[in-house]
Structure 1
Amino acid sequence: MTGSRPAIIGPILLLDDLRDGCMHLAALFVADKHATPPPVIALAGPVAPTRIATYDDAAVWRVRFALPADRASSYSWNGETFAVASDMTGDLRAAFVSCNGEEVGDLDRDGSARNLMWARMRDDHGSQPLSLLLHGGDQIYADEVTKGHTLSAGWPKDLPRDSSADALADLRHHLRQRLFERYVQIYAALPFAWLAARVPSLMQWDDHDICDGWGSLPAAVTASSVGQTLFAAAREAFLIFQHAATDGDLPARFADPAGRHLGWSVAAGGLRILAPDLRSERTRHAIMGTGGWAMMDAAGQQDAAGHTLLMSSVPLLGPRLSLLELAMRVVPRMQKYEDDLRDQWQSRAHRDEWCRMLRLVRDMARRDGHDLTALSGEIHLATRAVMDLGGGLHLNQLVASGIAHRAPPAAWARFLGALATLGDAPLPDHPIRIAPLPGHRTRYQAQRNYLLLTRAGGAWSAQWNLEESGLTPPLPL
């Protein structure tokens, strides 16, 4: 994927909000430092871009505009017209992806191989347009941005005891530039760039958008001056590149305008998408903090007829991973995976909080006239899970991961499948089971993948597109 950068990258469409019968959009552009992108021409006329960030040899620009949300529409830029399936009132399709990269050497991979599933989604969109592209975390893998600077080269195990203000400012500059380079290379990749100019994205972050295991690492590491500098740089880049926003200028869909947590929701035409922030307030002992729980508790009290898609960047329903944590206490060589397991809702450290979330989701799904489906990524496998809610109701969880991350060994998928046979019921009378994808016999599929969500005649269904075995039969939701 390495190579020279185009003079202008974009437009990358991001959904600011759904309100007042309109799809409020932001078009993101990256331009050489002395270039200015042409205006976007929408229904209200031309809109000039606004600079929202500056880097060493480039700047990031944004154009905010609106399209009608009751019919298909289009906008123009630089002499080209881009069709947008902006009708949110009837039948529609959305895609869900996660894990767009790898921990080591991601940007040195062959572009056509790395982006194969993005190219397949582009073809999918050509045959039946997508209205939304939901990103469930790890949009970039920032794990290597700490390399190349003396303060962060040993992250997370070997950190300096004291760092001067000048040294930390230099580290911040280093991290900003490395994050910029990763976002730009990924956004310039042709299959993604073609889609992103035509399908608005909604994004939720996970640990690799910051660093591997952020929040599950020891507190002394994340609270260190290097750790806080890393988090601040990653958060700034997350807002700029994944939301076309900056502090003090967040879109209206965010629950906290001050950005203490970055959870958000949108709703229109009988669809609500709810995305709590599972990283900003995370510690080794809590997945969400005061702000995140206030957002979720408020959502649980809202009337939302239709269907809610709940985005949980780490799977809300899963096998009994707490058994693996117990094994780690007696097998020292397994302890290197402790942070990975502590990242999960199913960790022993988060059991009470997990049950709180499951009760909240159960009560939301039980409300009259309302359906709820959980969407998750993170595990580099495709799977689904079902929780019995009682009274003939079920909570479906759909896991699609990853769009670009290569699949783990099939043996790992088989091991998780065997672990899942034990079952789990963190809430009494509400057992959870891991189920095979439609058309498959095993519980976990070790293939790159993405998820397609379709509403037709008011009914929702889901299909996975798997790298080797292709499209699954539809799963009614």
Structure 2
Amino acid sequence: MPPISCSCSRTARERDAPVSRPLQDVATGSTHAGVPFRITSPIGPVLFLDDVAGSQLLLSALFITAGDDEPPPIATAAGETRATRLAGYDHARVWRARFTLPADRASDYRWNGTTYAVAGDLTGDMRLAYVSCNGEEVGDMDREGSERNAMWERLRSEHQRRPFALMLHGGDQIYADEVTDGHNLSHDWPEHIPRDPSSAALDDFRHHLRERFLERYAALYAAPQFAWLCARVPSLMQWDDHDICDGWGSLRRSRTYSPVGQTLFAVARESFLVFQQATTDGDLPMRFADPEGQHLGWAVHGPDLRILAPDLRSERTRRQIMGPGGWAMMEAEAQHEVEGHTLLMSSVPLLGPRLSLLEALMVVIPRMQKYEDDLRDQWQSRAHREEWRRMLRLVRDLARRDGHDITAVSGEIHLATRAVMDLGGGLHLNQLVASGIAHRAPPKGWARFLGALSWLAEDPLPEHPIRVERLPGQPGRYIAERNYLVLERTAGNWTALWDLEASGMTEVMSL
């Protein structure tokens, strides 16, 4: 049985995938057969939205260059902005240029002789894209580029047809599961790790991990489909377990709190800040709730729109999903009066089938116990039951305070699906799941199994029933195809549709 996040051993389909042009070789120089990793040409710009301030988009552009090569400046109508160095590696540097563009109209910027159009108008009608799960657990860097990035190419074409103002990335932007390979301290992670490694060994391990994270981010960001799109659409990113390692926070404490585990988390966190937020500790944009970065939850408040992204990883343990910092952020947001609509980014789906039944089966079927961390990752896990209720009550109170529906968007499960929760008073929580943009779909039998499981009611708040619904025009409740989500606001009304790899665009659904 595949686990809920499909973090399983390499399938026959994966082994047989074409590898004529590995992703690693796109623009960065191969690491295969012992050839050292090199950046062969500048990577970037990759745009990130730092925040919205009045009529301005506060933006960062990320670049990765060879050695100390400084990228050319960003040019706008306000002048030129030089990049500053964010991080250094053996043979590469990461740079960031912060600048502003209008938030009330389309505009552009120029870099290195190219003009990049940005559809940055957040004041009226607009479109957002939502993606997740940009990779696979095993052999992702060896996949043939056009196959791996087929849905990125579709998303690029859709942007060319009708531009997106923002792109939301809902977790697992990279699959870092293999960064622990090739080092003595971690080659058997997480099954076997040394108890008390020396400081010198940990320093060497830290260096090994930093270089491996760089390689993966550089290869992904150099892929032409991703690079073209992310130079023109500002991104907002939220992390999940594979941005660290499979099951982070749901693994045993003896693993995550070990010297090896803490070093892995520290390097993954540094890499997440550098490559997914274009920032470092002590320099977090204002949208982050905790300037100290004990948790990395954030919120963006735009015209008639709030995008709310709690951090479900930094404070996670086997017994909790969010810690004091995360809950303080969510409770503070519950006190804000917000007009328009709230998009809640929950990297792990907030609504879903009765997975607690699968957890109960694990007790009596030993061969299923290896999937324990995958199920414990979910809000529906028996270990998180009270916390799940707390979150659902908070979402209900958010909706009642503001008098509008809330839409939760999620990834993680490598399927497309949706669900709805009745919040009372004519209000609803719509849960839209789009996963994954690059991860190949699990077997269709797994989608049918989850669809059957969804018939068993899962109502943690009995007065607020949950229904798993079909995607518009689709026969099943779970669709086993690669996909992304389009969210659109027209005359103040929000709609959604999915682009499914084989089935194409779904019918439009009103939110």
What range describes the TM-score normalised by the shorter chain of this pair?
over 0.9
Aligned residue number for residue 309 of structure 2? 275
Partner of 2:445: 411
Which residue is 2:60 aligned to? 26
> Is the contact between residue 8 and residue 30 of structure 1 (CA under 8 Å) also seen in structure 2?
yes
Counterpart mapping for 1:219-368 below 5 A: 219-368=253-402
Superposition pairs of residues 85-124 of structure 1, within 5 angstroms: 85-124=119-158
1:2 aligns with 2:24: yes
SS of equivalent residue, structure 1 residue 356:
helix
Match of residue 454 from structure 1: 488
Q: Distance in 1 between matches of 2:503 and 2:462?
A: 37
Match of 1:7, SS? coil
Q: In structure 2, what residue type is equivalent to 1:104?
A: V
Structure 1 residue 351 displacement after superposition: 0.1
| Counterpart residue identity of residue 411, structure 1 | G
Alignment of 1:57-206 (within 5 A): 57-206=91-240
3-state SS in 1 of match to 2:392: helix
**Larger deviation, residues 429-438 vs 359-368:** 359-368
Q: 2:507 aligns with which of 461, 469, 473?
A: 473
Return the alpha-carbon distance in structure 1 between the equivalents of residues 404 and 283 of structure 2: 32
1:368 Cα deviation from its structure 2 partner: 4.0
Please point out which of 7, 12, 36 is paired with 2:46. 12
Out of 65, 72, 77, the position equivalent to 1:38 is 72
Deviations 1:89-114 (A, max 9, x none): 00000000000000000010000000
By how many angstroms is 1:393 displaced? Answer: 1.9
CA distance in 2, matches of 1:20, 1:51: 28
Q: 2:412 aligns with which of 378, 400, 403?
A: 378
Deviation at 1:21, TM superposition (A): 1.3
| Structure 2 partner of 1:389 | 423
Matched AA of 1:207: D
Following the alignment from structure 2 to structure 1, what is the Cα–Cα distance between the partners of residues 378 and 50? 29
Deviation at 1:162, TM superposition (A): 1.3
> What amino acid is aligned across from residue 2 of structure 1 in structure 2?
Q
**Number of aligned positions between the proteins:** 477
Residue pair 2:128, 2:488 contacting (<8 A) in 1 also: yes
Q: Distance in 2 between matches of 1:148 and 1:12?
A: 30
Q: Once the two structures are superposed, what CA deviation does each residue of 1:2-25 show, in whole Å capped at 9, x if it has no partner?
A: 222442000000000011210000
Inter-partner Cα distance in structure 2 for 1:331 and 1:466: 35
**Distance between the aligned counterparts of 1:152 and 1:92, measured in 2?**
46
Shift of 1:394: 1.5
**Displacement of 1:392 after TM fit?**
2.3
Separation (CA, whole Å) in 1 of partners of 2:329 and 2:450: 32
TM-score (norm 2): 0.93
1:388: how far off? Answer: 1.1
Q: Is the 8 A contact 1:91 1:456 kept in 2?
A: yes
> One-letter code of the match for 1:378?
E
Deviations 1:245-265 (A, max 9, x none): 000000110000000000000
Q: How big is each residue's C-alpha offset from its partner over 1:119-168, in whole Å with a ceiling of 9 and x where there is no partner?
A: 00000000000000000000000000000000011100100121110100
Distance 1:264 1:95 in 2: 18
Residue-by-residue CA offset, 1:142-196 (whole Å, 9 max, x unaligned): 0000000000111001001211101000000000000000000000000000000
Contact 1:304 1:370 in 2 (8 A): no
Q: Match for residue 12 of structure 2?
A: none
TM-align CA RMSD: 0.7
Aligned residue identity for 1:203: M
Distance (whole Å) between structure 1 residues aligned to residue 188 and residue 335 of structure 2: 46
The corresponding residue for 2:472 is 438
**Rounded Cα–Cα distance in structure 1 between residues aligned with 2:205 and 2:349:** 33
User: Which portions of structure 1, spanning 4 or more consecutive aligned residues, are displaced by more than 6 angstroms?
Assistant: none
| Runs of 5+ unmatched residues, structure 1 | none
Please give the alpha-carbon distance, in whole angstroms, between the structure 2 residues aligned to 1:390 and 1:261. Answer: 32
Percent of pairs identical after alignment? 68
Contact 1:119 1:191 in 2 (8 A): yes
Unaligned 5+ residue runs, structure 2?
1-22, 30-38
Contact 1:383/1:400 (CA < 8 Å) preserved in 2? yes
